[in-house]
């Protein structure tokens, strides 16, 4: 059958590749439907190839060619073949669309480039990385992990972990979390490879999920030699900075002189006469004379360690050492060895070292932010509290210890237990007595006193003569929420005094942090007066509140004939705060008293 007959039947319009016929003059005599969809112009028959398919003009007739073309603002990849028909010297051009295959190839190449980049990144870090699938088969191992394990990734890839490590489902952290789905954070691990190579690392492991199903796990490990060196330095630092110095008669210098037992504060150093603060101090004083464990809770910056030191200094153990450790400031792997001590050979670089429980024996051990202590370590702490004995890491000698334990948390006990930050059984051992330290927003009566205290403190340090804060600043201090509590108030005052000019004696908003200034500006929007005659007038909200407060204080003072104690009780504030407000508002107290006679 001739091509002319095929043209008539249009049987090629249903195929998914292009067919173009050219006569010996280069004109298009036929183009099927697929080919026409790639034409520059819709009318193709009788037109020159260069007019409708310019990108096909220079196609090599000797071989199949792959080209990229742009048609109707879209790019396509076409595989083209062009041959001459010997009989009538017509030319036949055929092409297929390989765009989807090309895009897939490019995506695969892009993914491969990304994988190479990620692999190079993972090979450049100092931590060892090992990934396995849900069956425990090794998917990836970076170069650091290769050096830890003395293995080659190329040789172990795709093999089960148990073929190359002397581990099983009970001893391998990775295999454990594939079953449990629970993360493991910075846990020491000592193991052997199948070649009997010893590995000593600190490891964190996480499960890998896909649509809520565990499909594998990954571990990140650090050489224990590095952490062992850090343990050594931390121990040395604590020995120098804690009460061990007191036992050896060493002198320690500080801004506030350290007492012989390693503390700096007593109850006399706690500033505050507000009712919530008085209650907290009274409860702490009562607890101090007993040997019971104490849990102190309060927001960050409220002064929990001041209470802990004060309790120690009012207790029967006050001549013994007070040692404090912040559980959130240390890696989990170090915390255990610092608390319980080590024996030589327990791990690479380990030495015979007494832990903080031994160092604080007979005295007080403060576990600050204990809600940051890892859960795996809490049962060990519970055992020490219950039985009064411990084993050093790597040791089998039973060591008796009996320090009083004071712990602190920066959330409520209920929240710490609900969020599983503290085990309930450990909490009941720690919280024989609980002390709630109020936030600064709960004890606003103490703000003027604290402000004066910090001004005097930094007057001495900076050799300045600042008298007070302005009334506007004090108004703001009294209404501000103080999320950082007393620590934030002290920082604000220290920062303000640092930039005061020599001739300035009062702290104003000019010296305060911009965040506080902006808060005050937002609060100081004009307040319309309700009086119709004064409708055109405006005053600031703080000024209106001050005026109302002043009037209420004057009314109560007149009711009590100027009796400060009685007026303070009726107003629900301390005598000291009332006297401060009388002075600030220029209330004529003597005149009120004389007019009542």
pLDDT tens-digit readout, 309-360: 999 999 999 999 999 999 887 776 678 888 998 888 766 566 788 999 999 9
489 vs 519, residue with greater confidence: 489
Residue 128 has pLDDT above 80, yes or no: yes
- Separation of first and last alpha carbons in the chain: 133
* pLDDT score of 197: 83
Q: Do residue 487 and residue 426 come from a single domain?
A: no
Task: Please tell me whether residues 18 and 162 are part of one structural domain.
Answer: no
Q: How confident is the model at residue 177 (pLDDT cuts 50, 70, 90)?
A: very high
Q: Which one of 405, 438, 471 terminates a domain?
A: 438
Q: Based on the domain organization, do 312 and 203 belong to the same domain? A: no
**What is the structure's pLDDT at 261?**
80
Residue 506 clears pLDDT 50, i.e. is over it:
yes
Please determine, for residue 10, whether its predicted confidence score (pLDDT) is greater than 80. no
**Same domain membership, residue 400 and residue 356:** yes
Mean pLDDT on 277-306: 94
- Give how many domains the chain has, as a whole number: 5
Whether the Cβ atoms of residue 102 and residue 108 lie closer than 8 Å to each other: no
What's the domain range around 408? Answer: 242-438
pLDDT digits (tens, 9 = 90+) for 65-75: 889 888 888 88
Q: If pLDDT is split at 50, 70 and 90, which confidence band does 543 have?
A: low
Within this chain, do residues 195 and 211 fall inside the same structural domain, yes or no? Answer: yes
Residues 400 and 312 in one domain: yes
- Show the 3-state SS of 440-501: HHHCHHHHHHHHHHHHHHHHHHHCCCCCEECHHHHHHHHHCCCCCHHHHHHHHHHHHHHCCC
User: Are residues 216 and 130 part of one domain?
Assistant: yes
Claim to verify: residue 166 and residue 68 sit in the same structural domain:
no
Residue that finishes a domain, picked among 497, 523, 549 = 523
Least confident span in 219-223, 281-285, 466-470: 219-223
Is 312 part of a structural domain of the chain? yes
**Which residues are CB-neighbours of 188 under 8 A, at least 6 positions away?**
200, 201, 202, 203, 224, 333, 336, 347
Examine the domain organization and report whether 333 and 199 are in the same domain. no
* Contact call for residues 533 and 497 (beta carbons, < 8 A): no
Last residue of a domain, one of 489, 523, 557: 523
Is the pLDDT assigned to residue 387 strictly greater than 90? yes
CB proximity list for 577: less than 8 A, separation 6 or greater: 445, 448, 568
Return mean pLDDT, the chain: 84
Q: Judge if 308 and 357 occupy the same domain.
A: yes
Residues 337 and 400 reside in one and the same domain = yes
> CA–CA separation, 229 vs 200, rounded Å?
14
Residue 421 contacts residue 374 (beta carbons within 8 Å): no
């Amino acid at each position: 059958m001739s091509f002319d007959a095929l043209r008539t039947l249009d049987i090629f319009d249903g195929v998914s590749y292009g067919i173009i016929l050219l006569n010996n003059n280069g004109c298009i005599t036929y183009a099927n439907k697929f080919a026409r969809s790639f034409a520059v112009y819709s009318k193709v028959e009788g037109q020159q190839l260069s007019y409708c398919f310019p990108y096909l003009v220079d196609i090599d007739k000797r071989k199949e060619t792959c080209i990229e073309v742009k048609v109707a603002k879209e790019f396509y990849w076409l595989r083209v073949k062009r041959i001459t028909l010997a009989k009538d010297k017509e030319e036949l051009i055929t092409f297929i669309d390989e765009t989807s295959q090309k895009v897939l190839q490019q995506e695969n190449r892009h993914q491969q480039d990304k994988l190479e980049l990620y692999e190079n990144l993972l090979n450049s870090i100092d931590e060892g990385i090992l990934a396995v699938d849900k069956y425990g088969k090794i998917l990836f191992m970076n170069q650091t992990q290769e050096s830890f394990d003395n293995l080659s990734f190329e040789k172990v890839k795709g093999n089960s972990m148990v073929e190359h490590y002397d581990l099983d489902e009970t001893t391998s952290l990775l295999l454990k979390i594939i079953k449990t789905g629970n993360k493991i954070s910075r846990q020491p691990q000592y193991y052997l490879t199948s070649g009997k190579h010893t590995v000593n690392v600190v490891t964190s492991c996480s499960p890998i999920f896909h649509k809520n199903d565990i499909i594998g796990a990954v571990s990140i490990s650090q050489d224990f030699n590095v952490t062992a060196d850090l343990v050594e330095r931390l121990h040395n630092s604590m020995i120098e900075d804690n009460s061990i110095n007191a036992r050896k008669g060493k002198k320690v210098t500080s801004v506030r002189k350290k007492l012989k037992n390693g503390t700096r504060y007593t109850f006399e150093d706690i500033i505050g006469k507000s009712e919530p603060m008085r209650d907290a101090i009274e409860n702490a004083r009562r607890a101090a004379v007993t040997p019971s464990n104490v849990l102190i809770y309060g927001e960050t910056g409220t002064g929990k360690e001041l209470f802990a030191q004060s309790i120690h200094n009012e207790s029967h153990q006050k001549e013994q050492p007070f040692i404090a450790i912040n559980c959130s400031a240390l890696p989990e792997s170090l915390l255990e060895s610092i608390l319980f001590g080590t024996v030589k050979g327990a791990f690479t670089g380990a030495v015979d070292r007494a832990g903080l429980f031994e160092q604080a024996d007979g005295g007080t051990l403060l576990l600050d932010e204990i809600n940051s202590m890892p859960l795996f370590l809490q049962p060990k702490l519970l055992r020490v509290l219950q039985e009064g004995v411990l084993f050093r890491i790597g040791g089998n000698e039973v060591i008796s210890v009996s320090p009083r334990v004071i712990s602190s948390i920066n959330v409520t006990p209920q929240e710490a237990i609900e969020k599983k930050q503290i085990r309930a059984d450990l909490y009941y051992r720690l919280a024989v007595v609980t002390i709630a330290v109020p936030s600064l927003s709960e004890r606003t009566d103490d703000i003027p006193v604290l402000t004066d205290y910090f001004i005097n403190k930094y007057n001495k340090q900076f050799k300045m003569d600042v008298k007070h804060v302005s009334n506007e600043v004090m108004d703001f201090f009294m209404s501000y929420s103080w999320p950082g509590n007393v620590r934030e108030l002290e920082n604000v005052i220290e920062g303000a005094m640092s930039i005061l000019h020599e001739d300035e004696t009062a702290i104003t908003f000019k010296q305060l942090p911009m965040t506080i200034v902006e808060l005050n500006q937002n609060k100081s929007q004009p307040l319309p007066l309700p009086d119709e005659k004064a409708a055109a007038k405006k005053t600031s909200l703080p000024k209106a509140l001050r005026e109302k407060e002043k009037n209420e204080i004057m009314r109560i003072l007149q009711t009590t004939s100027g009796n400060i104690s009685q007026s303070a009780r009726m107003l629900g504030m301390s005598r000291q705060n009332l006297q401060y407000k009388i002075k600030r508002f220029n209330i004529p107290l003597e005149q009120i008293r004389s007019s009542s006679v």
